[in-house]
Amino acid sequence: MTNLEDIRTAVNNVQFNRFRFWLQIFFFALLVYGGYLGIELGKHLPTFACGYNKELRGGMCFLMPLQHWMEWPWEKLFSAAALTILYGFTIFFLWFIALNRGWCGFACPVGTIQDWITSLRRWTGIRYSRYSEGQYKGLGIIKWVLLALMFLIPLGIGGGWFTHDLKSPFCMICPGRTVVPLFGLDVSQWSIDFSSRTNMIMTSLGLLVTGLFFIGAFVKKRFFCFYCPMGALHYLFSKAALLRLNKEGAKCTRCGDCYRVCDLQIKEIADDIQNKNIMTDDCIMCLKCVAACPEPGALKATFAGIPIFEATEAGFITRMNKGRTDDK
């Protein structure tokens, strides 16, 4: 029992930013270079292990096969062949429930790249930007629109309404397509395809989003995560996940530390003292809020109901003494 308590104390006192940095490096190596080691985690991963990274990747983002399936002709889509989709979705779901949106906060290569860009900005001494409340509310809808289009456009292709050049529409504008293969020295996605008007528009749009990704990620922490349809898809199933972020409102003093460290500017994390499940559609479960919380037990991450990392006074002091630079 004492041993278990010791482990808990050690975990709660961990230098969280350092731990997260190395965990992100591990997932990045696994998902972006895993192919070198013969690792294949399948094509149903709930994170941007980009399929355009061809042989190098250790698995594939689920959105790619999902869009391919949605492009099936309707006769096929609404037949027994749809069992393939059901099977694929089940695998996706099983992966997802293990980490919930921790896939975004710890495993996503595109998220990790954004964190590295943030580190670069911090090194230059340039301050970061935050959305105003109005901007935050307005722009927050974009991920849901992208999620809807990601289903509707491929369905339209299957129904014969749209050209096949519109296939995998989200992949075409995802910065993962252009940025992740760069780590395998593949620049083939940095070109405009003039073979048709649709291809020309989609590839141009993709590179426009890539340009915005670099600027956005430089001035705004986790810029793209705010618009990510994978995040929106995650949120639909997050209540069933094993990893959860819980808050005990009675222990919260609304000091606002959690809000200040939140990359996604989620105000509810500080303001909401009613709900136990504090997850919102923007939360990437990076758990920086738990690490920054000074109130014992106010915020905690649980796995299948068992607390695995919670706010403690000692942990807060240890981390503060080490000197955090997140808010530079």
Partner 1 sequence: MSSKILNTVMGMSLLALASTNAAYAELLWLTETAPPKSSATQVADHAAHHHAMHTPTAAVSSTVVTDSGKHDHTGMIVLDETPGKDHRPSKQVWLRRGDDIKKSPFAALDGGVAYLTLIDQAGKKSVVEAGQENGLFTLKAEMPEVGFYETYLEQRSVKEGRLLVELPKIELLWASCQPKEIDEEAVAKPIINDALALELVRIHKEDEGCMNRLVSGDVVNFQVLSYGKPIAGFPVSMVTQEGWRNTQPSDASGTVAFTMIREYFPNWLEFKKYHTDVFLVSAVMDKQEAGALNGQPYISVRYEATLPGKYRPSPHDYRSYAWGLGISFFVIVFGGLAVYLYRRRRLKPYKEERVDDKS
Which residues are near partner 1 by CB under 8 A? 35, 40, 43, 54-55, 129, 178, 187, 190-197, 199, 203-204, 207-208, 210-212, 214-215, 218-219
CB of 199 to partner 1, least distance (A): 8
Choose between 31 and 243: whose C-beta lies nearer to partner 1. 31
CB of 246 to partner 1, least distance (A): 36
Choose between 28 and 213: whose C-beta lies nearer to partner 1. 213
Q: How many CB atoms lie within 10 A of CB 128?
A: 16
d(CA 60, CA 52): 9
Burial 131-143 (b: 16+ CB within 10 A, else e): eeeeebeeebeeb
Choose between 40 and 271: whose C-beta lies nearer to partner 1. 40
**175 contact partners, CB below 8 Å, separation of at least 6:** 110, 209, 210, 213, 224
**95 contact partners, CB below 8 Å, separation of at least 6:** 44, 45, 46, 103
CB of 122 to partner 1, least distance (A): 16
Contact assessment for residue 214 and residue 223, using Cβ atoms and an 8 Å cutoff: no
Choose between 137 and 164: whose C-beta lies nearer to partner 1. 164
Which residue, among 210, 196, 168, has the nearest Cα to 66 in the 3D structure? 168
CB of 47 to partner 1, least distance (A): 18
CB of 306 to partner 1, least distance (A): 36
Choose between 119 and 191: whose C-beta lies nearer to partner 1. 191
Choose between 239 and 328: whose C-beta lies nearer to partner 1. 328
Cα–Cα distances (Å) from 242 to 197, 250, 297, 299, 306, in that order, read 45, 24, 19, 16, 10
CB of 229 to partner 1, least distance (A): 21
Position 120: which residue type?
A: L
| Strand, coil or helix: 328 | coil
